[in-house]
């Protein structure tokens, strides 16, 4: 077991993330949101109140900033490169990961579409939420595929600080550790192969 300061800090981060997850679950319970057969379920009275708070689509559009409406085609045009990225990364993983012995990233672990259950959103708001969910879930999915690839091929930290590094990064070998690199890389490859 690794007891370096970085390993200890990484463990503390994981523990804090677990605390955040527990607190989010408590908040969902306070909001009376439950799950039934894997689907979101609201109490009947809460659902009625949500429907009352929905902004009608025409009212929503009428009150929209005209510049926001004009930029809508720009943001929605991103669906094309996002879809192409999704396709290429999924094909890459399907072909290469079995060859490298890397467990595939399960798409279902990353893609979550549940905001359409919110009765206080109109159709356009639900479409926007689905679009944002797809984009952000895709980036998380792609990031994990890239992180596993990096762990397999080049598990070395950078000399400079990396903003927003993936969770695997902290276990990578130190920059400039020429003597220990190949042994550490072999350990990280073996650890990756054992993942589910």
The domain locations on the chain are: 56-194
User: Is residue 1 over pLDDT 60?
Assistant: no
Distance CA 125, CA 131 (A): 10
* Confidence at 21, pLDDT banded by 50, 70, 90: confident
Q: What would the two tokens of residue 51 be?
A: 């429907």
**What value does the mean pLDDT of the chain take?**
89
User: Is residue 45 over pLDDT 90?
Assistant: no
Q: DSSP string spanning 12-55?
A: HHHHHHHHHHHHHHHHHHHTTEEEETTEEEE-HHHHHHHHHHPP
Residue-wise pLDDT tens digits, 56-66: 889 989 999 99
The reported pLDDT for the residue numbered 22 is 84
Q: DSSP string spanning 126-190?
A: HHHHHHHHHHHHHHHHHHHHHHHHHHHH--B--SS--TT--TTGGGSBPTT-TTTHHHHHHHHHH
The reported pLDDT for the residue numbered 115 is 87
pTM of the model: 0.81
User: Is residue 41 over pLDDT 60?
Assistant: yes
Contact 147, 192 (CB under 8 A): no
Direct distance between the N- and C-terminal alpha carbons of the chain, in angstroms, rounded to an integer: 20
The reported pLDDT for the residue numbered 161 is 92
The reported pLDDT for the residue numbered 26 is 78
User: Is residue 193 over pLDDT 90?
Assistant: yes
Q: What would the two tokens of residue 166 be?
A: 């993936």
User: Is residue 8 over pLDDT 90?
Assistant: no
The reported pLDDT for the residue numbered 33 is 64
Residue-wise pLDDT tens digits, 103-147: 999 999 999 998 888 889 999 999 999 999 999 999 999 999 999
The reported pLDDT for the residue numbered 40 is 65
């Amino acid at each position: 077991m690794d007891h370096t300061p970085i390993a200890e800090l990484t463990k503390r981060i994981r523990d804090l993330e677990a605390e955040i997850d527990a607190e989010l679950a408590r908040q969902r319970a306070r909001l009376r949101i439950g799950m039934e057969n894997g689907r979101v379920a609201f109490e009947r009275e809460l659902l009625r109140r949500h429907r009352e708070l929905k902004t009608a689509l025409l009212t929503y559009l009428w009150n929209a900033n005209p510049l926001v409406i004009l930029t809508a085609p720009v943001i929605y045009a991103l669906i094309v490169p996002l879809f192409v990225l999704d396709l290429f990364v999924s094909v890459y993983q399907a072909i290469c990961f079995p060859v490298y012995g890397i467990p595939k990233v399960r798409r279902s672990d990353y893609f979550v579409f549940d905001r359409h259950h919110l009765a206080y959103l109109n159709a356009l708001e639900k479409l926007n939420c689905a679009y944002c969910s797809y984009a952000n879930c895709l980036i998380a999915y792609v990031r994990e595929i890239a992180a596993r690839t990096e762990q397999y091929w080049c598990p070395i930290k950078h000399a400079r600080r990396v903003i927003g590094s993936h969770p695997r990064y902290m276990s990578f070998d130190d920059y400039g550790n020429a003597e220990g690199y190949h042994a550490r890389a072999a350990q990280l490859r073996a650890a990756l192969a054992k993942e589910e």
